Amino acid sequence: MPTPKIAPSMLSSDFANLASEAQRMISFGADWLHMDIMDGYVSDMAKALLFHFVPNLTIGAPVIESLRKHTKAYLDCHLMVTNPLDYVEVFGKAGASGFTFHVEVSKDNWQELVKQIKSKGMRPGVALKPGTPIEEVYPLLEGENPVEMVLVMTVEPGFGGQKFMPDMMNKVRTLREKYPKLDIEVDGGLGPSTIEIAAAAGANCIVAGSSVFGAAEPGEVISLLRKSVNE
């Protein structure tokens, strides 16, 4: 199993105090900071035409750039946007560390995306929504320019605080059997009550928003998550 990475999702932090929230998570032992970038649709038409990827609007590259001035931490950027290629350059300049795009909107240009992401010094990852079969990411893991992480969504992308979908663990298990050394990230509804099943399935990168930020002792939750993945 590759090294565990515990990545608090800053979506559940106090955005008005992002720098201190980030520093607090690192001081509690977090490995990465998970940054959720969303492009926000409101109307059904925008959704149908795929102008936007998720029904929520969060942060963009300017916020990553500001945060970068306050931390050296690995910024694990999860781009829930329809046109990820448009954002590679600005996120690279802003100081993003990982750039994870969605397979559902990158079938035609993932090779170009991976190339660009690497050329800007970031680590490429691919994410998939609950309804997307795992087979769709296989091509991105082969060839000379593969992605370096797969993010398996365990809730519908868009919001923190949703219920973990245990059925997604089949994807994680299948992926782990096929790629023993791959970074496999799970995102959505992870916390003390769901970590065991995710760790047993083979996930090593754990995103946790509400369970960490909502805890009286976030450091204890981070330690518990790490211990479960280590076992």
Task: List active site positions.
Answer: 36, 187
Provide the 3-class DSSP secondary structure of residue 230: helix
* CB contact at 8 A, 225 and 208: yes
From residue 166 to residue 205, what is the string marking binding to ligand DX5 with x (rule CB under 6 A)? ---------------------xxxx---------------
Query: For ligand DX5, which is the closer residue by CB, 50 or 121?
Result: 50
The Cβ-side half-sphere exposure at 176, using a 13 Å CA radius, reads 20
Two tokens at 122? 């970031």
Residue among 4, 29, 55, 161 that touches ligand DX5 (CB under 6 A): 161
* CB contact at 8 A, 14 and 83: no
Whole-number CA gyration radius for the chain: 16
Query: For ligand DX5, which is the closer residue by CB, 79 or 94?
Result: 79
Contact status: 39 vs ligand DX5 (CB under 6 A): no
Query: For Zn ion, which is the closer residue by CB, 111 or 169?
Result: 169
The alpha carbon of 9 is separated from its chain's Cα centroid by a whole number of angstroms, namely 8
Report the distance separating Cα 153 and Cα 196, nearest Å.
16
CB under 5 to 8 A by kind: which of Zn ion, ligand DX5, none does 96 bind?
none
Q: List the interface residues with ligand DX5, window 71-110 (CB under 6 A).
A: 78
Strands (E), 9-73: 32-38
Report the distance separating Cα 43 and Cα 66, nearest Å.
31
**Residue 192 has what DSSP assignment?**
T
Question: What is the number of residues in the chain?
Answer: 231
CB-based closest residue to ligand DX5: 209
Contact status: 134 vs ligand DX5 (CB under 6 A): no
Query: For ligand DX5, which is the closer residue by CB, 92 or 157?
Result: 157
Q: List the interface residues with Zn ion, window 120-179 (CB under 5 A).
A: none
CB under 5 to 8 A by kind: which of Zn ion, ligand DX5, none does 208 bind?
ligand DX5
Report the distance separating Cα 212 and Cα 7, nearest Å.
10
CB of 50 to ligand DX5, least distance (A): 17
* CB contact at 8 A, 194 and 163: no
Residue among 30, 33, 113, 155 that touches ligand DX5 (CB under 6 A): 155
The site for Zn ion (CB under 5 A) is made up of 36, 78, 187
The site for ligand DX5 (CB under 6 A) is made up of 9, 11-12, 34, 36, 78, 155, 157-162, 187-190, 207-211
